[in-house]
Amino acid sequence: MEYREARSKKLSFKGEAKCTKRDASSSDNSAPAKRKSKKRHREPKDEVPHGAVGWVPIESLDDLEGPIALYHRDEQLYILATPPKDETRAQVDMDEQAPALHALGNTSLMESEPQSAEQVFAARRSVPMAGSSDAEAAMFSLKSLVGTYLSADRHGRVSCASAAIGALEMWTPVLLPDRGDGAVAFTIHPPGLSEDRFLSADTSNTATGSSHVALAKSAQPARLHASGTSIGYSQVFFAKCQAAIKQKRKQATAETAADRDLGAVLLSGNLTADEAIQAKRFQSFQGGRPRPAVGHSMSGLSSAKQAGKYSEGLLDRREKTKSDRYCK
Residue 90: Cβ within 10 Å count = 10
Please give the pLDDT value at position 151: 93
Please give the pLDDT value at position 173: 94
- Alpha-carbon separation of residue 66 from 56, 193, 229 (angstroms): 13, 30, 28
Please give the pLDDT value at position 170: 92
Residue type, 170: M
Please give the pLDDT value at position 91: 47
Q: Which residues of 202-241 are buried (b: 16+ CB within 10 A; e: fewer)?
A: bbbbeeeeeeeeebbeeeebbbbbbebeeeeebbbbbbbb
Please give the pLDDT value at position 213: 38
Calpha distance 216→205 (Å, rounded): 9
In the chain, which residues have pLDDT < 50?
27, 30-31, 33, 87-96, 130, 206-218, 324, 328
Please give the pLDDT value at position 273: 76
Residue 98: Cβ within 10 Å count = 20
Q: Specify whether the CB–CB gap between 317 and 305 falls below 8 A.
A: no
Calpha distance 131→123 (Å, rounded): 18
Q: What is the mean pLDDT of the chain?
A: 75
Please give the pLDDT value at position 283: 64
